[in-house]
Amino acid sequence: MGMQKTREIPRFLCFQCQASERSCRWQLLQVKIGGMTMAVEVLRMEGITKIYGNGFVANKNVTFWLNKGEILALVGENGAGKTTLMKVLFGLENPQSGQVYMDGEPVKILNPLDAISKGIGMVHQHFMLLPSLTVAENVVLGIEPMKNGLFDFKKAVEMTREVAEKYKFDIDPLMKVSELSVGQMQKVEIMKVLIKGAKIIIMDEPTAVLTPQETEELFEQLILLRENGHSIIFISHKLEEVKRICTRVTVLRHGYCLGSYDLKDMNEADISRLMVGRDVILKIEKEAPHVGKTIISIKNLVKVNESGKTVLDDISLNIHEGEVVGIAGVEGNGQSDLSDVLSGMGGFTSGTVELNGSSIAGKTVHEIRQMGLAYIPEDRMEYGCAGDMSIRDNIIADRYFKKEYRSGFFVNRKYIDKIVDQYIKDFEIACDDKNQPVRMLSGGNIQKVVVAREFTSGSNFILANQPTRGIDVGAAEMIRKTIVKKSREEGTATLLISADLNEVLECSDRLLVMRKGKIVAAFPKANEVSESELGEYMLGLKAMTAEQMGGLL
């Protein structure tokens, strides 16, 4: 069923290549065939195996190559080994075995400086810019022009302008980076790489932080770069993007390379099947919510942070029993501050927040949790777990004091063991046993531990901040489904804050957009909103008036 014979053969052969020497021969054949279309190989990574210090094997005998002037998509679920492979290429990680070839010559890449000198540039997922400096100063960092022993700012601006003109970047070299939008910052990152003469550019999930409009601009830029003879490795798990701008795709799964394919023979479903090994249900089936009484009520909430910036600007909103309210927005527009206020981790300046009828002002986290809060924090390693402690110890962290979990001064080990075993089963946490330190689990399983704790706390308000960031599709799917299921079956009120547009569109009933600490748009039905419409509100191209949002908050 499903795949046609023609596609089946390369997949099988290529997988086999991982097991035996035959693979290489087959791939060489491919190159020969490709040779007829004049593809010149600029980079080849052969048999890369990378094992981390904790025993985790991130890359298992991975082989892939990059042709001159192509955009190659590197796809795979989170944790499939894409980033590790690129870190190896960029000299950030040392592989246990494998060889890198550039223009057919074997090379050894010692460190990022070495990689840059060999013409490899990397645009990181998290920008590495100095916000207080100008664009020009950031761009020339590392190759600063000097005059009389001093930094030559004029020359720096000139150099930046030159690159900007050559590659049609519409950006002012004199602007401070802190004044730029996320999309513009990314352009600065790309310019940084170009000015150092990179011929191979690695883009690590470049569209993850961009709005749909900014993504369009980036794509135009990438195509221009390709035409200028640059080769680009494009890491993404958004398949429609891959299909649009890439010519070939290399698929990784669980650290293995499942081969490289010409994209004209593949559709999105084929790629996703290779990535995940099964068909992923991207749509969550959900019935209309039975909205009940108000669980949390936020009125005129204002927060001015320590540096005097108004990060939450007069936010009012109610969340009712049985509904999932999503908040979309470009990161850093007050979502984290809102989550801090609601979870009791940070205070607020004015306004009221009532959870189940009583105000949370001045209450400790413990008290707010007792009032009905469950909280999935944004950063699971920092706020969501204690890495060196066991799964059991992590799961009981919010309830160890409850009657059934203790016997006098002592921990009720027997009862806890029973409960934790049950959760490990229910939430499909892949582990040795409940005594395993959490740090040894994969990202997705760590998040499952967090979710197992928060979803079983008996609270009727769940604050989920980026609940599926950076975890594999399977775990993400389970978490999203559970959020919806809890709201439908148990009447939980949920506030879902996410930078993943797909996620908020899929899971939410009502959808709000936050920008600069304000709610700028409200939609009664999340599944009727298009991504591009959402993008316009996120970017501030459009904003709803209070009347338009009336009754929707």
Partner 1 sequence: MNKTRKIEITVELIRIIAAVAIAYAIALLTLVVFSDEPVYIIQQFILGPFSSMRRLGSVINLAIPFTFTGLCFCFMYAVNKFNLAGEGTFMVSGCLTALVAIKIGDTLPPAVMIPLLICVGALVGVILNAIPALLDIKFNANIVVVSLMLNSMLVFFAIWILKYKMRDPSIGSLGSYLLPENALLPSILGKMRIQAGLIVAVIAVILVAILFYKTIFGYKMRVVGNNPLFAKACGINMVGTIVAAQLIGGALAGIGGSCEILGNYDRYKWVASTQHGFDGLMVAVLARRNPALVPVAAFLLAYIRIGADVVNSKGDIPVEFITVIQGIVILLVAAEEFMGKFKKNMIYKAAEESLAEDKKEEVKEILEESDGKEK
Binding span for partner 1 by CB under 8 A among 13-21, 111-119, 297-305, 527-535: 13-21
- The answer to whether residue 362 forms part of the interface with partner 1 (CB under 8 A) is no
Among 26, 127, 153, 383, binds partner 1 (CB under 8 A): 383
**Single-letter code of the amino acid located at 395:** I
Binding mask 433-472 for partner 1 (x = CB under 8 A): ---xx--xx-------------------------------
- The answer to whether residue 182 forms part of the interface with partner 1 (CB under 8 A) is no
Measured from the CB atom, the residue of 12 and 151 that comes closer to partner 1 is 12
Measured from the CB atom, the residue of 236 and 260 that comes closer to partner 1 is 260
Instruction: Report, in Å, the least distance between residue 388 CB and partner 1.
Output: 5
CB 51 within 8 A of CB 74: no
Measured from the CB atom, the residue of 214 and 393 that comes closer to partner 1 is 393
Binding mask 234-273 for partner 1 (x = CB under 8 A): ----------------------x-----------------
CB 349 within 8 A of CB 302: yes
Q: How many CA atoms lie within 13 A of 146 on its CB side?
A: 5
Binding span for partner 1 by CB under 8 A among 176-184, 235-243, 408-416, 506-514: 408-416
- The answer to whether residue 384 forms part of the interface with partner 1 (CB under 8 A) is yes
SS3 79: coil
Residues 91-120 that bind partner 1 (CB under 8 A): 96
Measured from the CB atom, the residue of 98 and 387 that comes closer to partner 1 is 387
User: What is the C-alpha to C-alpha distance for residues 406 and 421, in angstroms, rounded to an integer?
Assistant: 17
- The answer to whether residue 432 forms part of the interface with partner 1 (CB under 8 A) is yes
Q: How far is CA 395 from the centre of its chain?
A: 25
Among 28, 33, 282, 397, binds partner 1 (CB under 8 A): 397
Torsional sign, CA 165, 167, 173, 179: positive
CB 42 within 8 A of CB 200: yes
Q: Which helix (H) or strand (E) holds 270?
A: helix 268-276
- Could you tell me if residue 277 is left (phi over 0), alpha (psi between -120 and 50 degrees) or otherwise beta? left
- The answer to whether residue 343 forms part of the interface with partner 1 (CB under 8 A) is yes
Measured from the CB atom, the residue of 130 and 430 that comes closer to partner 1 is 430
Torsional sign, CA 152, 154, 160, 165: negative
For residue 483 the two structure tokens come to 């959020």
Residue with tokens 């409960």: 419
Instruction: Report, in Å, the least distance between residue 467 CB and partner 1.
Output: 14
Torsional sign, CA 5, 10, 11, 17: positive
- The answer to whether residue 57 forms part of the interface with partner 1 (CB under 8 A) is yes
The residues, ordered by sequence, that sit 6+ positions from 522 with a Cβ below 8 Å of its Cβ are: 510, 511, 512, 513, 544, 548, 549, 552, 553
Strands 248-253 and 71-75: parallel
Measured from the CB atom, the residue of 196 and 406 that comes closer to partner 1 is 406
Among 150, 240, 308, 410, binds partner 1 (CB under 8 A): 410
Task: Identify the DSSP state of 384.
Answer: I
Q: What angle do CA 221, 222, 223 make, to 5 degrees?
A: 90
Task: Identify the DSSP state of 390.
Answer: B
- The answer to whether residue 306 forms part of the interface with partner 1 (CB under 8 A) is no
Measured from the CB atom, the residue of 226 and 380 that comes closer to partner 1 is 380
Instruction: Report, in Å, the least distance between residue 370 CB and partner 1.
Output: 8
- The answer to whether residue 364 forms part of the interface with partner 1 (CB under 8 A) is yes
By CB under 8 A, name the binding residues for partner 1. Answer: 1, 8, 12, 15-16, 18-19, 49, 51, 53-57, 60, 96, 256, 343-345, 364-370, 375, 377, 382-389, 393, 396-398, 400-401, 406, 409-411, 413, 431-432, 436-437, 440-441
